[in-house]
Amino acid sequence: MIPARPAAAPPLLQLRSVRIGFDLPEGQLIAVRDVSFSVPHGGVVALVGESGSGKTVVSQSIMGLLPRRARILGGEILFADPDTPGTVVDIARLPAEGRQIRRLRGRRISIIFQEPMTSLSTLHTVGNQVREAVEVHRLATGRLAEELAHDMLHRTGFPDPARAYRAYPFELSGGLRQRAMIAMALVCRPALLIADEPTTALDVTVQARILKLLRDLRSELGMTMLMITHDLGVVATVADEAVVMFRGEIMESGAIDDIYRRPGHPYLKALMAAVPRFNMGRDERLVPLREIGPAGGRLLAPRDEDPATGPPAGDPDPVLLRVDRVCMSYAARRGGRLTALDDVSFDVRRGECLGIVGESGCGKTTLARIIMRALQPDSGVVRYAADRESPGPVEALARFRREVQFVFQDPFGSLNPRMTVFDIVSEPLVIHGIGDHASRRAMVSELMQAVGLDIRHLTRYPHSFSGGQRQRIAIARALALRPRLLVCDEPVSALDVSIQAQILNLLRDLRGALDLTYIFISHNLAVVDYIADRIAVLCAGRLVELAPRDVLFARPVHPYTRALLSAVPEPDPDRPLDFNALADPRQSIPSEWPMPFRSDDRHHPGLVDVGDGHLVRAAHAP
């Protein structure tokens, strides 16, 4: 027996003309057509595409995990297991619940999913779920299985594997949950790991650490990886080769360098042009796959012509909204208080776009709610410029509600499915008793044109629109009262890259055309960089740095801001993530920051101006 592989060893995984169809009541839908690619031993191949491109269906077919209504109509999925040289299995032909495919699943091919919370069972401990994979394949039982699980939890970076073993998934943070998921997938030492959007639900700094972990484990365990993602930055960081899919077909495939430097297919070129990158020129525009041309009209014209609500001529206060020393805390479950916001102060100037960046749990949503006056802060105030002109608090609030509007993150949850688009967009006018039916109709038509939607669709219901269209409806609704200030809470994070570019351009154009001011909240630095004039960085409820956009990116001062900036994978193979720089998870813990930035019981640094309107939270100028 000669274990050496023959010269022309087959690749670990090879797909040949795979076609997958869904049996739907209205007929068969071909979700994947003629997909062929191969994953070499030890390589990392990225399968890239937007939602609906069929990339997840392909990954499911490799695991034999297709939904019941989906069927493989043709082609071969050849898996050459390195443990049994010379044999090649065609997974496409194995019965979905058969013994053969079950022997591969979890043992030779493993998968990790996007959402570790729902992908792990809440009712079982992490240890139980990790060792189960070992026991199911009869690789070990009892003490040995437990030891294997401990070992893998250790390798996936749990500081205390024994404790993690006994923990339930809901007791872990998002990043640790994904590590538990990875431990579960790798505990049997599979030859191939499929990672289906493994970092999409995570914060950038956590994402960077998980990507590093995957890279380290890959070389340590000698496995091959198929990475499924929509994020071109992640692809450039981890993959050797990329396969680009669009509507069930492969558009382009090749080595990363070729793909990024010489994109051939128009779709790939368009995709590249739609991703916001750092250091784009001030006037450089993203190019969405389909540009929408917003058209402002008479009714939406800037308010200067409107004496009733216009600012008093000659004395425009440059500050539209002032957040002054706002603190907010919630009662924690096990006694004590959880600080959501700690002494947050900033101004929003008339006509600017202020970006607020932070990771999950940093308090940005609480801040948005306080600005919207949906929550009362424990201390501190939010002053709106026009408050002084109102005779009383009731009138001030009514005016505030007209002039400040909100755009939500989730365009699916924020539109009432039982209302037509017309009802949705005109509802603010009805609530505030503005105009009669005819004038409302005219206003709604103009709003629809402003966001590039067809006015013939006014009688439809939200379910017949795509995510991007829904977000445009939500924006139209927010504009109905001709607000001055728009608070956008992660308005593009639920959208595909190309749609994201469309919405970002729309928001940019509307701001110029309608003389709006934005507060733009996002976790995505590149997006904020594209749209904002000034950027505020939040961490653990504290405003750590506030600077004009160019200054912040060119000269970040605060250690957290630096960590944040270094953790964003860029869609450019020449600028890979510096994994060594971001291994430290203490960068987001205020009491671990170096002096003069440290913030704990004894140190309460305030904001220090380091020039050019660049504010940093530090005890003194660093």
Partner 1 sequence: MLAFLVRRVLIMVPTLIAISIITFVIIQLPPGDYLSSYIAELESQGESVDPARIAALRAQYGLDLSATEQYLVWVGGLLQGDLGFSFEYQQPVTEVVGDRLFLTVVLNAATILFIWVVAFPIGIYSATHQYSWGDYGLTLLGFIGLATPNFLLALVLLYLGNVWFGTSIGGMMDPAYIHQPWSTDKALSVLEHLWVPVVVIGTSGTAGMIRRLRANMLDELHKPYVVTARAKGLGPMRRLVKYPLRTALNPFVADIGNLLPQVVSGSAIVSMVLSLPTTGPMLIAALQSQDMYLAGSFLIFLALLTVIGMFLSDLALAWLDPRIRLGAGTGR
Query: Which residues of the chain form contacts with partner 1 (CB under 8 A)?
Result: 63, 65, 97, 102-107, 110-111, 113, 115, 117-125, 132-133, 136-137, 168, 170-171, 174, 181, 184-185, 333-334
Q: Which is nearer to partner 1, 185 or 618 (CB)?
A: 185
Look at residues 596, 575, 597 and name the one whose alpha carbon lies nearest to residue 588: 597
Number of other residues whose CB lies within 10 A of the CB of residue 528? 23
CA dihedral 119, 218, 206, 561 (to 10 degrees): -160
Q: Which is nearer to partner 1, 118 or 591 (CB)?
A: 118
Smallest distance from partner 1 to CB 152, Å:
13
Number of other residues whose CB lies within 10 A of the CB of residue 53? 25
Q: Which is nearer to partner 1, 330 or 464 (CB)?
A: 330
Smallest distance from partner 1 to CB 2, Å:
31
Q: Which is nearer to partner 1, 255 or 332 (CB)?
A: 332
Smallest distance from partner 1 to CB 195, Å:
12
The partner residues of 365 in beta bridges, in order of sequence, read none
Q: Which is nearer to partner 1, 31 or 514 (CB)?
A: 31
The order of strands in the sheet holding 27-39 is 27-39, 13-24, 70-79, 89-90
**Alpha-helical runs (H) found in 47-141:** 55-63, 99-104, 116-119, 126-136
Smallest distance from partner 1 to CB 326, Å:
24
Cβ proximity of 141 and 206 under 8 Å = no
Burial class (CB in 10 A: 0-12, 13-18, 19+), 104: buried
Q: Which is nearer to partner 1, 99 or 620 (CB)?
A: 99
Smallest distance from partner 1 to CB 378, Å:
22
Look at residues 618, 256, 329 and name the one whose alpha carbon lies nearest to residue 244: 256
Smallest distance from partner 1 to CB 489, Å:
16
At 478 the three-state DSSP class reads: helix
What is the CB-side half-sphere exposure of residue 341 using CA atoms within 13 A? 27
The order of strands in the sheet holding 241-246 is 109-112, 192-196, 224-229, 44-48, 241-246, 249-255
Q: Which is nearer to partner 1, 229 or 561 (CB)?
A: 229
DSSP, residue by residue, 489-522 = ESTTTTS-HHHHHHHHHHHHHHHHHHT-EEEEEE
**Alpha-helical runs (H) found in 249-392:** 256-261, 266-274, 364-371
Q: Which is nearer to partner 1, 64 or 556 (CB)?
A: 64
Q: Which is nearer to partner 1, 135 or 550 (CB)?
A: 135
Q: Which amino acid is at 542?
A: R
Q: Which is nearer to partner 1, 65 or 287 (CB)?
A: 65
Q: Which is nearer to partner 1, 108 or 484 (CB)?
A: 108
Smallest distance from partner 1 to CB 260, Å:
31
Smallest distance from partner 1 to CB 280, Å:
32
Residue that has been written with the tokens 């396969």 in this structure: 243
- Secondary structure letter of residue 569 according to DSSP: P
Smallest distance from partner 1 to CB 177, Å:
10
Smallest distance from partner 1 to CB 229, Å:
18
φ, ψ dihedrals at 151, nearest 5° = -60, -45
Cβ proximity of 425 and 477 under 8 Å = yes
Smallest distance from partner 1 to CB 97, Å:
6
Compute CA distances 185 → 205, 372, 468, whole Å.
22, 44, 34
